[in-house]
Structure 1
Amino acid sequence: MAVLAMVGTTVFDGGLLERAMTRTLADQGVGEGSAQFERMLRYAKDTAGMSKLAVFSQLFEDRHRAAAANTFFERSCDELIAEGVIQAVPGAEDAIAWLREAGIMVCLATGFGRHTQNMVLESLGWMGLADLSLCPADAGRGRPYPDMILTAVLALDLDDVRKVAVVGDSCADIQSGLRAGASTVAGVLTGAHGEPALRAAGATAVVQSIRDLPVLLEPRSE
Structure 2
Amino acid sequence: MTTMTPTPAPTDHDPRTRLVVLDMAGTTVADGGLVEQAFTRAAERLGVAPDLAYVRATMGESKISVFRALFGDEELARRANTEFELAYAELVDGGLVTALPGAAGAIAALRDQGRKVALTTGFSRTTQDAILDALGWREIADLTLCPADAGRGRPYPDLVLTALLRTGTDDVRQVAVAGDTSYDMLTGVRAGAAVVAGVLTGAHDRERLTGAGATHVLGSVAELPALLTAREEEV
Query: In which range does the TM-score fall when normalised by the shorter chain?
Result: over 0.9
Report the structure number with the largest CA radius of gyration. 2
In structure 2, distance between residues paired with 1:106 and 1:205: 19
TM-score where L is the length of structure 1: 0.95
Task: Map 1:72-87; keep pairs closer than 5 Å.
Answer: 72-87=83-98
Give the secondary structure class of the aligned counterpart of 1:186.
Answer: strand
Matched, 1:15 2:26: no
Per-residue deviation at 1:221?
5.3
Matched, 1:187 2:198: yes
**How many aligned positions are there?**
215
Residues 108-132 of structure 1, C-alpha deviation per residue, up to 9 Å, x if partnerless? 0000000000000010000010000
The aligned residue for residue 15 of structure 2 is: none
Unaligned runs of 5+ in 1: 32-36
Counting aligned pairs with the same residue, the percent is: 54
Runs of 4+ in 1 over 3 A off after TM superposition: none
Per-residue deviation at 1:14?
2.7
Give the secondary structure class of the aligned counterpart of 2:190.
Answer: helix
In structure 1, distance between residues paired with 2:53 and 2:116: 35
TM-score where L is the length of structure 2: 0.89
Give the secondary structure class of the aligned counterpart of 1:167.
Answer: strand
The aligned residue for residue 230 of structure 2 is: 219
In structure 1, distance between residues paired with 2:44 and 2:116: 41
In structure 1, distance between residues paired with 2:47 and 2:135: 33
Amino acid at match of 2:65: A
Task: Map 1:144-155; keep pairs closer than 5 Å.
Answer: 144-155=155-166
Aligned match for 1:45, one of 32, 51, 56: 56
The aligned residue for residue 68 of structure 2 is: 57
In structure 2, distance between residues paired with 1:202 and 1:65: 33
The aligned residue for residue 93 of structure 1 is: 104
Q: Tell me the C-alpha RMSD between the 2 structures.
A: 1.1
Contact (CA 8 Å) 2:24, 2:121: kept in 1 or not?
A: yes
The 3 A distance-change label for structure 1 pair 115 and 87 is same
Aligned match for 1:115, one of 101, 118, 126: 126
Contact (CA 8 Å) 1:102, 1:221: kept in 2 or not?
A: no
